[in-house]
Chain A
Amino acid sequence: MIRSLARSFAVTLCFATPAWADFPQAVSGHILPGYANLAEATGTLADTATQTCDMAALRPAYHAAFDAWMGVQHLRFGPSEVEGRGLSIAFWPDPKGSGARAQMALLTGDQAALEPDMFAQQSIAARGLFALERLLYPSADLPADPCPLIRATATDLARTAQAINADWQNTYAQTVLTAGEAGNTTYLTRPEVRQALFTQLVTALEFTDDNRLGRPLASFTQPRPERAEAVASGRSLRNITLSLQAQRALVLALTPDAPLTIAGFDHALALAGALDDPTLAGVATPEGRLKIEILQQTIEALRDTVLAELGPELDVGIGFNAADGD
């Protein structure tokens, strides 16, 4: 019976999760404000696009909307997964160029497709922030006036952001906060919520590692600076910084007791802050590449720290996530 005793002891320890910071704080202090911010920033962008097609006015509003997205883009569950909303806000990477192709058809095709109801049915690759980037920072002359498409894309983006925000405000926050209560079929226990958030954190770090850094780094003999995220709008490094800041904030909302994890975020943020390379073009030069590789290694080490420290602290392990598979 020694074994049963040991088990009881372990279970008791599990209950020691601190009460002053936990997923309710993550909902009220991180998730809800984040989506409200996104709804507001994308709303401003849509309003601006309705009034003008002046790039000098649109670009700052675009950056503000993208900044707001970086505050929540790591939360790939619940309302952002409904109807592929998250992907329709940010479809990247797009190795086959599906977005550019679909947008060309929209630019030159029947304008009825730009009506909101119709536009919402278009390929996710032709919608969202990366679609707007191709219109606001075109790499070549566009075959037609982009203004109607810019307006349609911005309007659709704001509608999507508003839908996610409304779902969180009206129903999903309650779904999360009543985890483990009778009738909640989404989260049968409170640890299931902690596991969901923990999984988002780890997956988001892996996304930065594999894609935001891994794609431009490619191989030493064949670096691919053009494959960095949001190169045209000059946001590659900024997106890494903002995503790390948002994930750090989520950790702090979940627990005050993950010092190694927070130190790891601070170290990665310091490296990113010292990197004077907004589009990560340095991957193609020996000294620039070294710095970016060090940032990547730091983020990989941070992921391991999160698994080793934060997982046990929250008493959960990694769950399945959308990035499983190829």
Chain B
Amino acid sequence: MRHYLIAALTSTALVSPAFAASPQEVAQTYVELAAAGYGDSLTTAQALQTAVDAFLKAPSEETHAAAKTAWLAARVPYQQTEAFRFGNPIVDDWEGRVNAWPLDEGLIDYVDASYDHSQENPLSTLNIVANASFTLSGAQVDATNLTPDFISGTLHEVDGIEANVASGYHAIEFLLWGQDLNGTGPGAGARSHTDYLQDSGCTNGNCDRRAAYLKAATDLLVTDLAYMAGQWAMGGEARSTITADPNAALSAMLTGMGSLSYGELAGERMRLGVMLNDPEEEHDCFSDNTHNSHYYDGVGIRNVYLGSYTRVDGSVVSGPSLSALVASADPAVDAQLKAELDASVAALGAVKAAAESGMAYDQMLAAGNAEGEALIMGAVAALVTQTASINRAVTVIGASGVAIEGSDSLDNPGAVFQ
């Protein structure tokens, strides 16, 4: 459960001293960063769509590799947008469509005999690719056509179970890579391109339906990202919500930074996997891309604070920052938080570097891998540390008179003195 830090500051939110950067300017930077980030997420997903189309048209090792490369590239901007998720209900309500995780992949396609049927999910081994209909609560469901509408409207979170992830990056990842059957040993998912051959060379059966699913899921991802890019473009609702109430924007920014740092990334995605020694607990578990996903989450958190984002084309979007706003109220808090954000990005960078040198993230989770555990827990510690300073930034901005909830002080400046 999340909190939007709204109640946090109302008791002290009374005055507005002069800031180096105004809340309005900082909010403006924030929406520009979000627009650029979701815009890049959309264009890289469109590149993935082109690569998937080419792969399905002529499945080969080369076209398969190109599709996987495009998926990896698409993750870079998207993960940086995760800092916009918590704090913006428009994003948070939508996020499950594109980045839901972890998933019971047996819902979608064939799985190895070692795959555990989930005790709490009767559909965890449904294998919709192999079944053109299935039974749900006693009723027969037609799955003849694997369309985007079927995936989003029927199959996603079917039976009210969150692990039934039918759409988004991780469903596509599974369809491209397949299960990683190496446990905490070296190696990622090793699905062959022949799973998509539309002739007698088809492996594992139902290549036509598998191809239809991959196509539909990829098209759906593009549609979903186009929706969110529109939310942050000129006239979009997420954008206008923020710009209409800059003080609420500050709350959204800090909530997003803190919730992603602590509960989500440090806790759910990193520490839990170490504590369970479970390779299923890695975020990009099929592709072994988890080190990048975590790293770009960390970069995204820092982007929001520093008011700067480096786009996929190398250009930089930047403007008056939350950092400047905090610094004008309490330079020590700002300096500490900036240093801690750099430290967490560096610690996540160390995980990334180790993975790129041959120790994949799932290998780090192995029981007894002290070096891997130290790398992950080092990043966890850095994220937990910065969360305390994000809390302090909330207090500083509140104590300096920015009503995080806004409203009263904006709509009726006199009200706060009554």
Contact = CB atoms under 8 A, between A and B. Distances in A.
A95 B121 CA distance: 9
Contacts of B12: 10-11, 14, 315
Interface stretch (B53-61, B140-148, B254-262): B254-262
Contact of A122 (B267, B271, B367, B390): B367
A311 B5 CA distance: 12
B8 interface: yes
A113 to B, nearest CB: 9
Contacts of B1: 203, 206, 210, 323-324
A152 interface: no
Interface stretch (B26-34, B238-246, B272-280): B272-280
Nearest to B1: A206
A308 B260 CA distance: 25
A6 B403 CA distance: 14
Interface in B393-416: 394-395, 398, 401, 416
Contact of B118 (A7, A95, A210): A95
B14 A325 contact: no
Contact of A7 (B15, B163, B261, B280): B15
A111 interface: no
A10, A122, A195, A326: residue with the most chain B Cβ atoms closer than 10 Å: A326
Nearest to A186: B388
B203 interface: no
A148 B398 CA distance: 55
Nearest to B333: A188
B262 A84 contact: no
Given A96-B118, A322-B262, A325-B264, A315 B275 contact: no
Interface string B9-31: 11110111000000000000000
A4, A188, A203: residue with the most chain B Cβ atoms closer than 10 Å: A188
B314 interface: no
B3, B118, B160, B395: residue with the most chain A Cβ atoms closer than 10 Å: B3
Contacts of A14: 11-12
Contacts of A95: 118-120, 163
A121 interface: yes
Contacts of A186: 388
B338 interface: no
A307 interface: yes
A222 B138 CA distance: 13
Interface residues of A, number: 49
A137 interface: no
A2 interface: yes
Nearest to A13: B11
Given A219-B160, A317-B7, A4 B15 contact: yes
B392 A6 contact: no
Contacts of B9: 317
A7, A186, A317: residue with the most chain B Cβ atoms closer than 10 Å: A317
A122 B275 CA distance: 8
Contacts of B232: none
A320 B276 contact: no
Contacts of B267: 322, 324-325
A101 interface: yes
B274 to A, nearest CB: 8
B271 A84 contact: yes
A325 B278 contact: no
A123 interface: yes
B378 interface: no
What DSSP secondary structure best describes chain A's contact surface?
Answer: helix
Contact of B14 (A7, A87, A322, A324): A7
A325 B260 contact: yes
A318 interface: yes
Interface in B358-416: 367-368, 387-388, 390-392, 394-395, 398, 401, 416
Nearest to B398: A317
A3 to B, nearest CB: 4
Interface string A1-33: 011101100110010000000000000000000
Interface in A190-226: 191-192, 195, 202-203, 206, 210, 219, 222
Contacts of A123: 275-278, 367
A51 interface: no
A302 B262 CA distance: 25
Given A320-B258, A320-B261, A3 B391 contact: no
B9, B277, B401: residue with the most chain A Cβ atoms closer than 10 Å: B277
Contacts of B118: 95-97
Contacts of A322: 262-263, 267
A188 B392 contact: yes
Contacts of B416: 6
A310 to B, nearest CB: 11
Contacts of B263: 320-325
Nearest to A210: B1
A227 interface: yes
Contacts of B11: 10, 14, 311-312, 315, 317
Contact of A84 (B160, B268, B275, B367): B275
Interface string A114-146: 000000011111000000000000000000000
B259 A320 contact: yes
Interface string A261-282: 0000000000000000000000
Contacts of A88: 275
Interface string B139-160: 0000000000000000000001
A318 B16 contact: no
Interface in B267-316: 267-268, 271-272, 274-278, 280
14 contacts: A7-B14, A10-B11, A97-B116, A122-B367, A206-B1, A210-B1, A222-B160, A317-B398, A318-B8, A320-B258, A320-B391, A321-B263, A323-B263, A325-B259
Interface of A: 2-4, 6-7, 10-11, 14, 84, 87-88, 95-98, 101, 121-125, 186, 188, 191-192, 195, 202-203, 206, 210, 219, 222, 227, 307-308, 311-312, 315-326
Given A3-B16, A320-B263, A325-B262, 14 more contacts: A3-B14, A14-B11, A95-B118, A188-B392, A192-B391, A192-B392, A195-B391, A319-B394, A320-B261, A321-B263, A324-B259, A325-B2, A325-B265, A326-B268
